[in-house]
Amino acid sequence: MAEHAMTEHAPGTSSFETRCLHADGHEKPMNSHVWPIFQTSTFMFDSPDHGADLFAGRAEGHIYSRIGNPTVQAFERLMANLDEGVGSVGFSSGMAAVTGCLMPFLRAGDSVVLGDTMYGPSISLAQKYLTRWGITVLIVDSGNLSEIDRVLHTSPPPKLLYLESPANPTNKITDIAAVSAKAHEVGALVAVDATFATPFFQRPLALGADLSLHSLTKVSCSSQHSPPPHLAHPHSPTTSLQYIAGHGDVIGGVVTCAKEEHVNTVRTWRKDTGGILSPLDAFLVMRGIRTLPVRMEQLNKNAIAVARFLRSHPAVEQVLHPVFDDFPNHQVAVRQMSGFGSTFSFTMKAGYDAAKALLENVHLAVVAVSLGGVDTLIEHPASMTHCGVPLDLMRQQGLTPSLIRISVGLENPDEIIADLAQAIEAATAAFPVKI
Ligand SMILES: *Cc1c(COP(=O)(O)O)cnc(C)c1O
């Protein structure tokens, strides 16, 4: 049933925006306009033979919601379409998706190449557990093609190259097409965590990667909070608050594969380890996807405005945003992405004390981890999201103690800038820049 709409809205025949709204299939159960939430743990068999046929793969249908669920599958079809893969596998968190990209493809004796800049827990997962299970973890400057080449030609050849682009938190850019070509020469698979870009701005599989993954926590949602007292407008209609509710309520992840055999590998891993996305979360992510293009366009604009302001500020040392033409691999970013998302980092000239004071003095921006949502979040990676990264690796990444990560939201950009300006002023008053 949904197959008809999927073909009609195949990538290349309809725009991304249209596919966000129509590629989940027009024919839904009971003429429902949106996909219903199948909140059931199990499904009834017509007969013992029917049950046996389903388990043996001789019949199509639903068995048990840890294996598959109609709402989750509807999301997976939509996601595979948007991410330009043959199939997607929904997970209960971004980290469950990261695990699903690594574990089923590796065994003791193998080696895996990791980019040197990535989400803290992803590095921890590799360094804490993969090594314990006899897998060699090689960490490489993924922005440097000759170093990638050297590491790929170690013996035995690595099985998998795993990277983030743009990477969390410094936005480090890797040339996905070039590294994929190099990895494939030695038979290694390429997995790209593209959480920072979302499929709207970048599609790793179209660039040659084998697996693309996203933390859905970031794709579709954000933290929800009440406005700070100075913004609580006495006449604001209550509907605006209802508008906000509905975001900030999902933890999820997804892996999209370029080859059918990999879809099966990742799906079987998920069945055996149990980390499937819940039907309710699949529903909420599908709701978020309907407005993904408009949110991403505006977030991209707002983030660029904020990045330009910070770059012009004398108390700010560096702004790590790929829009600037002196940002490393800026040309690659422009080639492989159609926009930059909302999250970037910057450093303070007066060091850690000033960075902390800035966070203490923001009023509009919320001090919280997560990113890509509808409101502005700000955090300190060295003590928060990336606190598990070993110090030498932090240094290699440029993750300094004065680095602040901001996920710019959909507030009026002038007001985000004004908030940061006053917080920087307060921070600089307490900790002046030494000249
Ligand atoms: C947050 C994040 C993850 C993990 O996602 P969760 O949904 O929090 O488990 C993975 N990769 C990147 C780049 C992230 O920012």
120-179 confidence digits (pLDDT tens) = 999 999 999 999 999 999 999 999 999 999 999 999 899 999 999 999 999 999 999 999
CA of 407 to the centre of ligand 1 (A): 14
Two structure tokens written together for 149: 């080449």
Measured between alpha carbons, how far is 210 from 204 in angstroms, rounded to an integer?
8
How many residues make up the chain in this entry? 435
276-308 confidence digits (pLDDT tens) = 999 999 999 999 999 999 999 999 999 999 999
SS3 content of the chain, % helix, strand, coil (to 5): 45, 15, 40
Three-state SS for 200?
A: helix
Q: Give the residue, by CA position, lying nearest to ligand 1 atom 8.
A: 94
175-234 confidence digits (pLDDT tens) = 999 999 999 999 999 999 999 999 999 999 999 999 999 999 986 544 444 444 444 444
CA of 186 to the centre of ligand 1 (A): 29
Q: Are strands 160-164 and 189-193 parallel, antiparallel or unpaired?
A: parallel
pTM for the model stands at 0.92
- Which DSSP state fits 277? P
Q: What is the pLDDT of residue 3?
A: 54
Handedness of CA 193, 377, 343, 171 (dihedral sign): negative
* Distance in Å from the first CA to the final CA of the chain: 68
Cα–Cα nearest to 210, from 172, 180, 250, 241: 180
- Which DSSP state fits 205? G
Catalytic residue flag (residue 218): yes
Q: What is the pLDDT of residue 8?
A: 79
Residue 281 CB–ligand 1 contact under 6 Å: no
**Atom in ligand 1 nearest the alpha carbon of residue 167:** 13
CA of 113 to the centre of ligand 1 (A): 19
Two structure tokens written together for 419: 């908030």
Catalytic residue flag (residue 141): no
**Atom in ligand 1 nearest the alpha carbon of residue 164:** 13
- Say how many C-beta atoms besides its own lie within 10 A of residue 133's C-beta: 11
Cβ–Cβ under 8 Å, residues 141 and 116? yes
Measured between alpha carbons, how far is 43 from 86 in angstroms, rounded to an integer?
26
Give the HSE-up count for residue 336: Cα atoms under 13 Å, Cβ half-sphere: 26
CA of 95 to the centre of ligand 1 (A): 6
Ligand 1 site-directed mutation target among 95, 101, 212, most atoms within 8 Å of CB: 95
Q: What is the pLDDT of residue 10?
A: 87
Catalytic residue flag (residue 210): no
Cα–Cα nearest to 385, from 374, 421, 375, 397: 397
Q: Tokens 């970037």 label which residue?
A: 344
Outline where 26-156 has alpha helix (H).
48-56, 70-82, 94-102, 120-124, 145-152
Residue 269 CB–ligand 1 contact under 6 Å: no
CA of 59 to the centre of ligand 1 (A): 36
Of 28, 53, 66, 141, which one is the catalytic site residue? 66
227-256 confidence digits (pLDDT tens) = 444 444 444 433 333 321 236 679 999 999
CA of 155 to the centre of ligand 1 (A): 31
Q: What is the pLDDT of residue 231?
A: 46
Three-state SS for 9?
A: coil
Cβ–Cβ under 8 Å, residues 360 and 372? no
Cβ–Cβ under 8 Å, residues 72 and 276? yes
Of 193, 281, 375, 419, which one is the catalytic site residue? 193
**Atom in ligand 1 nearest the alpha carbon of residue 195:** 13
Residue 119 CB–ligand 1 contact under 6 Å: yes
Give the HSE-up count for residue 246: Cα atoms under 13 Å, Cβ half-sphere: 14
Catalytic residue flag (residue 64): no
